Amino acid sequence: MNRSRFGDLEVLCRLPEGTARDTPLLFVHGAYTGAWCWDEFFLRHFAAEGYAAYAVSLSGHGASRGRAYLDSFSIADYVDDVAEVVDKLPVSPVLIGHSMGGMVLQKYLEKREAPAVVLMSSVPPQGLLGSAFGLAFSKPSLMGDLNRIMGGGQPQMETLRHAMFHEVVELERLQRYYHLCQPESHRAIWDMSLFDLPMVSRMQLPPMLVLGAENDVLIPPDQVRMTARRYGVEAHILPGLGHGMMMESDWRIAADPIVAWLKSQDL
C-alpha cells in the first residue's frame, strides 16, 4: 500500500502489478471512519482487477487535516476534498462512495462531472431524517449510542457490531475497527439531515450503480430504492450483508457486482 499526501489529505493507494486500466477509482468513506475502511479488502482487490485504486480520508478524518476542528467541516468541505484529489489524478476517476461518502458524491455532481459513480448504502437524496426516524422507532438503543458517538464518546462494542455488520465479526477484528472509528462532524450530519441536500436538477448525471445491503439497519433497502428511483436506475440489494459491506468477510458480494458493472461500462 502506498500512503501519500495530496496536500493535507491522506490518500491510500494500491496499484496493479501490470498495466493499469485507463480509468482509476477513488473511494470515499462514510461517517465515523476514514480511508482505512477501504484498505481492509477493496483497494487490494480492485488493484488485482487492474485498477489504480485510491481512497481519501476526508478533512478531519484519519491522518488528514483538521482533526482538532472536525465539527467545523461541512458536506461542501468534503466535496472540495474530493475535487482536490480528483484534480491531482492523471485521469478523472470513477467515484465510489459509501454512506455519507455517497451523499458527498451526490453533492459533487452538482458542480463537477465524473465518468461513473457507485453509491453503496448511500444517504439518500432526501437526507438522513427518514432513516433516523425509522431507527429511533425500531432500535432506540442503537440510535442513542450513535448519538453518544456524535458527542465524541466511544460506542459500545455490540453497538458497533450491530450497526455495521450482519455477520458476527470476531472480537479481535471488531476491537481494531472500534479503535479506528472516530466522531463525525455535527455540521456535516446536519447538512445531510436538512440543510444541504442534493439537487438533482443541478447534476450532470453519469452512469450510476446504486447498491444496498439486505440487512442494513442504518440505510435500509427501502432508502436505497428511494435513491435509485431518484436517479432513474435500478437498486441492487445485496444479500447477507450489513451496512459496512466492504469490511464484512463476504465483502466480495459487494465488490464483484462493482467490477462487473465497471467492465460493462468499458471502464
Tell me the mean pLDDT in the region 118-147. 68
Residue 206 phi, psi (nearest 5): -85, 175
Count: domains in the chain: 1
pLDDT for res 134: 46
pLDDT classification of 137: cutoffs 50, 70, 90? very low
Q: What is the largest CA-CA distance in the chain?
A: 51
Look up residue 93 and give its three cell numbers.
476517476
**Separation of CA 202 from chain center:** 22
Model confidence band, residue 183 (pLDDT cutoffs 50, 70, 90): confident
Judged by DSSP in three states, 46 sits in helix
Confidence at residue 188, expressed as pLDDT on a 0 to 100 scale: 93
In this predicted structure, what is the pLDDT of residue 256? 97
Tell me the average pLDDT of the chain: 87
52 SS3 class: coil
In sequence order, the β-bridge partners of residue 5 are: 10
User: Is the Cβ–Cβ distance between 219 and 123 less than 8 Å?
Assistant: yes
- DSSP 8-state class, residue 118: E
CATH code assigned at 116: 3.40.50.1820
Percent of the chain exceeding pLDDT 70 equals 83
Write the CB contacts of 18 (distance below 8 Å, at least 6 apart in sequence). 50
Cα 64 from chain centre: 16
The predicted structure's pLDDT at residue 113: 96
Q: What is the pLDDT of residues 216-250, one digit of tens each?
A: 988 999 999 999 999 999 999 999 999 999 999 89
Give the model confidence (pLDDT) of 47-105 as tens digits.
999 999 999 999 999 999 999 999 999 999 999 999 999 999 999 999 999 999 999 99
> In this structure, how many other beta carbons lie within 10 angstroms of the beta carbon of residue 63?
16
Cα–Cα dist 33/31, whole Å: 6
The mean pLDDT of 6-14, rounded to a whole number, is 91
Dihedral-angle region of residue 52 (phi above 0 means left; psi in -120 to 50 means alpha; beta otherwise): beta
Q: What one-letter code names the amino acid at 96?
A: I
Confidence of residue 164 (pLDDT cuts 50, 70, 90): low
What's the confidence (pLDDT) of residue 217? Answer: 85
Residues of the domain holding 182 = 2-264
